[in-house]
Each structure stands twice: as structure tokens, then as C-alpha cells.
Amino acid sequence: MSKQEIIICNNLRNDLEKAISSHKYDKLFILTDNHTYCQCLPVIENINQIKDATHITIGVEDINKTLETLAYVWLKLSNSGATRHSLMINLGGGMVTDLGGFAAATFKRGIQFINIPTTLLSMVDAAVGGKTGINFNGLKNEIGAFAPASEVIIDSEFLKTSDYENIISGYAEMLKHGLISTEENWKELIKFDFDKEIDYKSLQNLIGKSVAIKENIVEQDPHEKGIRKALNLGHTIGHAFESFALKTEHPSLHGYAVAWGLVCELYLSHVKLNFPKEKLRQTVTFIKEHYGRLNFSCKDYDTLYELMTHDKKNESAGEINFTLLSNIGEIKINQTVSKEDIFESLDFYSETMG
């Protein structure tokens, strides 16, 4: 997989002009969603190269991450004369960078694209690392390809258009990156002050570190055969929580489910691998304060377990695959855990988050 350049911006216009100029292309396309079309495109649309770009706009919610929307983007590209030498800019959250990246990766067997993520979740996760795709047959990201953007341009100014819930949701992926990297990074993250007005400069600094952690892992293992599985910490139980919440009247944002998943998976790390109790306690306290809790009872354990068995990261039927930690930065991939231990981690969740 070719390497992507990550640009943490000081000046979006300059960085974007430079990135576009580094490409040889015949036509420029810019993909937005309904929200970024109004809120974010105005920030860049008077850049000379962008003035002539063809706009494609899609719906903002994850329910639009479908084959139909993908076909709509392909059709727009085709009817507007896109060639193999065209360039696409994806301006938006994970929905736009995932679907736009997949549209670009497949149109005429692949055109170049630049990601400009506008939500925290897409800045630190979705837009970086080359995973692209759509939901299919009721399953998230079921169809897709590894296809890195040539550049990912990150400007935390866009976060001023996000609400608190979306910021704290993306922050869960940063917390995960801290847990799989260094104690220093983890400590900085659990100390960040969300009580006052958000300090975007400090947040941008933490975003830079977080993206570097992901980049380093993806470089070692772009196709998730080994160490990239570290990025799944919190996600095995987290995805089950997310799917469970989706069936209730209170669906949860992805990062909230990941944060709740971290509570259970750090508990499993403690029980199975001796992850230090005090670090478990401090992380759980941070999550409890910032993410609240998902409501479920022991009657729901079987449903949650069933959802975990469908996780596409499992390697064989009936086995649930986890990434756990023996300490901060000490990653143990391909850990299988018994049903009893998983239920015990749900008990721990209920007792501590209650």
C-alpha cells in the first residue's frame, strides 16, 4: 500500500493549494455531505484550483453509506467526464472519507484522492490508514478496499462546527491510541479538560500525536494481518454495544460505544494479563465522567455475546478475538476469551459505571 502524507495544518489554504499542486490531474471533484457543503466548503471554495471543481454532495448520516450512494457518486463522476487522471477531494466525516475513498479507489480502477476530515473521529481514525468502504446487507463496512488517500489534511478549526458529543466520540479513538502507545500520551489524554471551553490548539497537538500513533501501526501492517489489530482495542465489545444501542430508542455514536468497550476490554486485560488495576481505575473514571453509560441488564448478556460472535475480526466460528493489553503500550493481539470472562466483564461494567 502506498504511503499517505499526513498534514497537520497551520494554514489550510496554503497546505491544500500545495497538496493539489503536487498532483497532475485533468479534472477536480469535491465530495461533501449536506453539512460540510454548507459549513466547511466555504472555507476552501475560493482557492483557485477549487473554483473549477465539480461538486458532488451526499447525505450526512451513516444510513447513506450504501451501494445506492456509491453508485450516485460513480454516476456523477462518469457523467461529468472524470478520467483515470482526475483528482477527488473528500471533505467530511468518516462517512464521506470512507465512501468517497472507495468511490475513488474503484472508479476506472482507481483515481487519486485527498481526504480533508472534518470530524474528530475521521481526523484520528477513518480518514487515516487507507480503509475505505460502504455498509452492505445490514453490516457495517462490509464491502471495501484498502486504498490510502495520497494526502490527509487535518485542521482542527473544522471541529468548531462539531458538537460536544461528536468531539468526545472521536476522543475515544484518541484514548485508545494512548492506551496502545505510551503512558505519557495516555496521561495527557485523561487529563485533558473538557469542562471549560475546548482549547483547540492543545487538542490539535494531541490529534497530531494520535494520528502519528495510528500511522506508525498502519505502516508496519497496512492490511491488518498482525499489529494493526491493536487498533481494535475496545472495538469487539464496543461494536456489540453499538449494534445493541442501534436496536433501542437511543442509538449511540461510535466513539461512545468504543469507550464503553474499553471499560470491558481493559477489565479483561486486567484479569487475563495483569493490566495494572490503578490504570484501569483511572481510565474507567475518565470514561464514566465523559461518556455516561449504556443501559442494559444481565438479561441482555446473551444478545451482546451473540453480537460479538458476528464481529468480522473473529478468525474462526465460535471464537471471539480480542486485542488486550498487559500494560499501556504492551499489546497482545489474537486473545480468545471465554464466555464466562466476557460476562464477568459486563458485570464489572454494570458495577463500576452504574
CA nearest neighbour of 55 among 37, 68, 42, 78: 37
How far is residue 301's CA from residue 322's CA, in Å, rounded to a whole number?
18
Complex with ligand GLY: residue 30 or 238, whichever CB lies closer = 238
In the numeric block, which cell numbers belong to residue 318?
Answer: 465460535
Residue 49 Cβ vs ligand GLY, minimum distance, rounded to whole Å = 29
How far is residue 103's CA from residue 18's CA, in Å, rounded to a whole number?
24
Complex with ligand GLY: residue 87 or 121, whichever CB lies closer = 121
Where helices occur in the chain by DSSP H, the ranges are 12-21, 34-39, 41-44, 48-51, 67-79, 94-106, 120-121, 164-179, 183-191, 200-220, 235-246, 254-273, 277-291, 301-309, 339-353
Contact flags string 269-298 toward ligand GLY, x per CB under 6 A: ------------------------------
Stretch that binds ligand GLY, among 56-64, 113-121, 124-132, 274-282 (CB under 6 A): 124-132
Residue 133 Cβ vs ligand GLY, minimum distance, rounded to whole Å = 11
Complex with ligand GLY: residue 229 or 272, whichever CB lies closer = 229
125 binds ligand GLY (CB under 6 A): yes
Per DSSP, the residues of 163-177 read -HHHHHHHHHHHHHH
Residue 327 Cβ vs ligand GLY, minimum distance, rounded to whole Å = 21
Stretch that binds ligand GLY, among 123-131, 188-196, 278-286, 308-316 (CB under 6 A): 123-131
Question: Given the C-alpha cell 484514548, which residue does it identify?
Answer: 175
Residue 124 Cβ vs ligand GLY, minimum distance, rounded to whole Å = 10
Residue 312 Cβ vs ligand GLY, minimum distance, rounded to whole Å = 12
Compute CA 291 distance to the chain's CA centroid, rounded to the nearest angstrom: 17
Complex with ligand GLY: residue 131 or 290, whichever CB lies closer = 131
Per DSSP, the residues of 257-324 read HHHHHHHHHHHHHHHHH---HHHHHHHHHHHHHHH------GGGHHHHHHHHHT-TT-SSTT--EEEE
Choosing from 92, 117, 129, 261, the residue that interacts with ligand GLY (CB under 6 A) is: 129
Choosing from 35, 131, 177, 254, the residue that interacts with ligand GLY (CB under 6 A) is: 131
Residue 166 Cβ vs ligand GLY, minimum distance, rounded to whole Å = 17
Complex with ligand GLY: residue 86 or 115, whichever CB lies closer = 115
In the numeric block, which cell numbers belong to residue 299?
Answer: 438479561
Residue nearest to ligand GLY (CB): 231
CA nearest neighbour of 260 among 175, 141, 159, 327: 175
How far is residue 32's CA from residue 58's CA, in Å, rounded to a whole number?
6
Contact flags string 210-239 toward ligand GLY, x per CB under 6 A: --------------x---x--x--------
In the numeric block, which cell numbers belong to residue 193?
Answer: 479538560
Task: Assess contact for 169 and 255: CB atoms under 8 A.
Answer: yes
Residue 99 Cβ vs ligand GLY, minimum distance, rounded to whole Å = 15
Complex with ligand GLY: residue 35 or 176, whichever CB lies closer = 176
Complex with ligand GLY: residue 76 or 131, whichever CB lies closer = 131
| Count of residues engaged in binding ligand GLY, rule: CB under 6 A | 6
In the numeric block, which cell numbers belong to residue 351?
Answer: 458495577
How far is residue 160's CA from residue 172's CA, in Å, rounded to a whole number?
18
Complex with ligand GLY: residue 131 or 272, whichever CB lies closer = 131
Residue 269 Cβ vs ligand GLY, minimum distance, rounded to whole Å = 18
CA distances from 158 to 115, 151, 201 (A): 13, 17, 12
Residue 159 Cβ vs ligand GLY, minimum distance, rounded to whole Å = 19
* Interaction site with ligand GLY (CB under 6 A): 125, 129, 131, 224, 228, 231
